[in-house]
Amino acid sequence: MTPFNKPYITEKDMLYNVDEVKNNQLCNEIIIEKRDKIYFGGLNELRAIAALGVVAHHIEQFKGMNGLYITNPNLSFLIHNLGKAGVDLFFVLSGFLITYLLLLEKENNFGRIDILKFYLRRVFRIWPLYYLIMFISFVVIPLLSNFYFFDNNMSLLNSIHNPDNYSFNTIALYLCFLPQFANVVIGASQSWSIGVEEQFYLIMPIMLSFFSKKAFFGFILLLLSIYFIPIYEIHQWFYAVTKFFRFMIIGVIGGYLYSYNLKTISNLTKSKYPYFLIVILIISLSFFIVFENNLNRYVLGVLFLFLILFTVNSSNKLVFKNKLMSYLGKISYGIYMYHTFVLFLIFPLANKYFLEKEGNTIPYTLFLYLASYSVTILISIVSYEWFESKFIRFKDLKYKVK
């Protein structure tokens, strides 16, 4: 089965196949209408879970900067792991979707990928909010920090007043989508993963355009193997440059296999019980360190891929779907990008009015979580509806795949 015969998911989350419904005029009309905008039901819910988990991780990280730590080791590991796991899930999901969509475009356009249009689609989706966050981080936050109110969070002020964090080199790295090589900057620290994704998006369409499917798959397996096989002559520099791609490569493999083995994968992922087992395993590995070193994260990455493959199968009725979470997933880019700025605003208020000297941190923690999530989601809604959506509509109108 070629990528041309892939599912086109309508807004009703229904799965159709061209060969199976070619005699059904109504279904064919739906396919033609929706063919330029493929939508997989359930993935927005995964995005929402990942983004909300990252927020919880950073709330506890900011609390730690104030000397407040979770004492329970399993809960501490869970909160710490929520941030990493959330980003890893984003990476696996990005690798899966981009690979699948590019392979579909290549098959439907006689082996050709419009690389320029692909880049422009990513530019209009990613860049506007990314550079708004850069402006907030390098201009707005330093200006706001001069107000006496922010003296209630000296740990943040110390970072903001560090001139190395605002040097030309640091600013240039952030502006050029290389933040993972720069100093941590309050408000922009989370953008390192966006930089990694942009670097990944830069090379993927080129590789898929010029590699045959077998050569591409072999090259991806070679890249993945270098992370585990210590080829000392190249391993150190290669790992330093591409270490953040490893979870995307897991997604790439999934997108490739899904493109060329849809029928087999669909049959394997329609059962409820394996899906339930995968969810239980993900929760278990999030609470407990089962494997040493980074192997726990790699196993979670593979489980995330399985979770995605089960989620995109609309025949599996156990897959988690929820309208509220789906909407939060739609605005998850904003949740992910705005939340550190919100924490910068919320923490001085929490430190001044809710942090009790007697050591009762329950009101403090409740306020932090309620205020941080509420304000972040509110700002993200406004941003998506009144700012990001304008660029999304322009992108879909001008640079959609023919």
User: How far, in Å, are 70, 153, 347 from residue 361 at the CA level?
Assistant: 11, 16, 13
Q: Containing domain of residue 7, as a range?
A: 1-39
Residues 157 and 251 in one domain: yes
How large is the C-alpha radius of gyration of the chain? 22
Q: How far is Cα 207 from Cα 320, in angstroms, rounded to an integer?
A: 34
Which residues of the chain have a pLDDT value below 50?
A: 1-36, 232-233
Amino acid at 316: N
pLDDT confidence of residue 355: 79
Sequential DSSP letters for 250-280: HHHHHHHHHHH-HHHHHHHT--HHHHHHHHH
Q: What SS3 class is residue 399? A: coil
Residues 194 and 280 in one domain: yes
Residues 34 and 51 in one domain: no
Q: What is the DSSP letter of 136?
A: I
Residues 24 and 143 in one domain: no
Residues 326 and 244 in one domain: yes
Residues 54 and 201 in one domain: yes
Alpha helices per DSSP H over 67-191: 73-108, 115-135, 141-144, 154-160, 168-175
pLDDT confidence of residue 269: 95
Of all helices (H) and strands (E), which one includes residue 14? Answer: none
pLDDT tens per residue, range 366-402:
999 999 999 999 999 999 999 999 999 999 999 887 6
**CA neighbor of 76 nearest in space, from 50, 56, 52:** 56
Residues 18 and 60 in one domain: no
Alpha helices per DSSP H over 312-361: 323-330, 332-353
pLDDT confidence of residue 12: 36
Q: How far is Cα 339 from Cα 56, in angstroms, rounded to an integer?
A: 10
pLDDT confidence of residue 312: 95
pLDDT confidence of residue 241: 59
Q: How far is Cα 112 from Cα 271, in angstroms, rounded to an integer?
A: 36
Q: What is the pTM of this model?
A: 0.87
Residues 22 and 53 in one domain: no
pLDDT confidence of residue 172: 97
Residues 126 and 248 in one domain: yes
Residues 26 and 140 in one domain: no
Number of domains in the chain: 2
Q: How far is Cα 74 from Cα 285, in angstroms, rounded to an integer?
A: 11
Of all helices (H) and strands (E), which one includes residue 32? Answer: helix 25-34
pLDDT confidence of residue 345: 93
Q: How many helices (H) and strands (E) does the chain have?
A: 18, 0
pLDDT confidence of residue 262: 92
Residues 275 and 288 in one domain: yes
Q: How far is Cα 308 from Cα 305, in angstroms, rounded to an integer?
A: 5
Name the residue with tokens 């050709």.
112
CB atoms within 10 A of CB 314: 21
Q: How far is Cα 139 from Cα 146, in angstroms, rounded to an integer?
A: 12
Residues 100 and 227 in one domain: yes
